[in-house]
Amino acid sequence: MNIDKMKVSIIGMGYVGFPLACAIAKKTEHEVIGIDLSKQKVDLINQKKSPVEDKQAEKDIKEISLSASTDFSKIDSSDLIIIAVPTPIKENKLPDLSCIESATDSILPFLKKGQLIILESTVNPGVCDEVLIPALERSGLRCNEDFNVAHCPERIDPGNKKYNVYNIPRNIGASSSESAAFAKKFYSSFIDADINVVSSLKAAEASKVIENTFRDINIAYVNELAKSFDLMGLDIIEIINAASNKPFAFMPHFPGCGVGGHCIPVDPYYLIQKARDMGFEHSFLQMARDVNNSMPEYTVQKLENSLAEIGKKIKGTKVCLLGLSYKPNVGDLRESPALEIKKILNDRGADLAVVDPHIEGTQELSKSLERSEAVILATAHDDFKKISDWKGVKIVIDGRNCLDKSYFISKGIIYRGIGR
Ligand code: SAJ
């Protein structure tokens, strides 16, 4: 194998795999093949278009040679196979490894001596050793004798203008020190940031889940504060901003109508379940999940209380839901709390209009505001922050604390934030 010119196959052309494929194709001499189950994604890539919202990758695809296919046989004779498929949770909040398992089944016929298999998908400690390697060894080949395995947890922040696949540091664990060194050299060839080798596959898996669990518990902390500050008549944004001028030992997070995305509300359940299987209950992490999962209902409750102030109920009221996406300025519905808010409003009989400029099939903003008495903002899209004419709206529930509270007070519009 010539480390400078390999055949690299990437399984999964989503938010993680596609930018990664572009970076490798752009910065190295490797031949890069992208594999995905979605013919639509594959066709877009072969037409030199991006299948995901990623500003850097949308540029890169036009300059590079990257072919994509739905046919797994195209990975034949790969030196390196990278698995970057989703690791969601099931309805019952249990980890769902089915994408990894099916990707591995599809790789088996093409597993060869000397190959390195790298998992980028986020998993709990133990998945590589207890699921991935045994599945690959069903080929009859042995890990560390015939093939090696490494884990380099993905770190991508959709919509981030500063950090992208080229400049985010990475951690690597592997089945052997040689394969760790090989993987480090590979990632260093297209990433201009620290590539850190940890002691094992499990250590790499654990490092990723604690990153996102850290974020989840900190968001739960401020969400719980928001509930008590609402009762105390305090403005949580003012208070967090004040605490933030402490130059050490404080890291601001902000309350909102809930926690969405493919990482933050998902990864804690991987850690919780693994520890539970080992006989330990992460009650604190579970409680944080419960707090964050309570925010959509809390947000709708604010609307109900505000309507009651003007003698109305949710049932039959014309309500406009601003935003469906889980984070600003992208169109991504995964685990979005706005979907839960929409469901609750529908169940409570609201006459609902839903507006999200990043999601196809939603209503037009101006007309939706015109016909609505009340608004819940669930996503801090820039388009919503620019609204200057709220038409006949009487109530605004600002689920992302991103609007100007004083403006609404000056206009006699009832404004309620989350913790303000
Ligand atoms: N959220 C809050 N309050 C906060 C921060 C976020 O309610 O203070 C909500 C957001 O509205 C969103 C959810 O949490 O619904 C997740 O927000 P996020 O900014 O964490 O967005 P993600 O899911 O794109 O997170 C990614 C993650 N990257 C990876 O997992 C590789 C995460 O680790 C990063 O911390 C995050 O980007 C980032 O830093 O922006």
Does the fold of domain 234-420 match that of domain 7-199?
yes
In CATH, the architecture of 234-420 is: 3-Layer(aba) Sandwich (3.40)
pLDDT higher than threshold 80 for residue 158: no
323 Cβ inside 6 Å of ligand 1: no
- CA-only gyration radius of the chain, Å: 24
Instruction: Give me the percent of the chain exceeding a pLDDT of 90.
Output: 95
Parse the chain into domains and list their residue ranges.
7-199, 234-420
How far apart (Å, rounded) are the C-alpha atoms in residues 131 and 373?
A: 53
Identify the active-site residue in 99, 263, 320, 402.
Answer: 263
What are the tokens at 38?
């979605």
List, for residues 342-388, the tens digit of each pLDDT value.
999 999 999 999 999 999 999 999 999 999 999 999 999 999 999 99
* Whether residue 264 has its Cβ less than 6 Å from ligand 1: yes
Cα(395)–Cα(414) distance, integer angstroms: 5
Strand order in the sheet with 31-35: 67-69, 31-35, 7-11, 80-83, 116-119, 148-151, 170-174, 195-197
Distance 32 CA to ligand 1 centre (A): 30
CATH (one of 2.60.40.10, 3.40.50.720, 3.90.730.10, 2.130.10.10) for 7-199 = 3.40.50.720
Nearest CA, atom 34, ligand 1: 157
d(Cα 212, Cα 198) in Å, to the nearest integer? 18
Whether 263 is a known active-site residue: answer yes
Distance from residue 326's CA to the centre of ligand 1 (Å)? 9
> Structure pTM?
0.94
Tell which residue, 121, 183, 176, has the closest CA to residue 154: 121
Band (157; pLDDT cuts 50, 70, 90): confident
Among protein residues, the one with the nearest Cα to ligand 1's atom 3 is 254
290 Cα to the center of ligand 1, angstroms: 17
- Report how far ligand 1's centroid is from the alpha carbon of 243 (Å): 21
**Which carries the bigger pLDDT value, residue 167 or residue 159?**
167
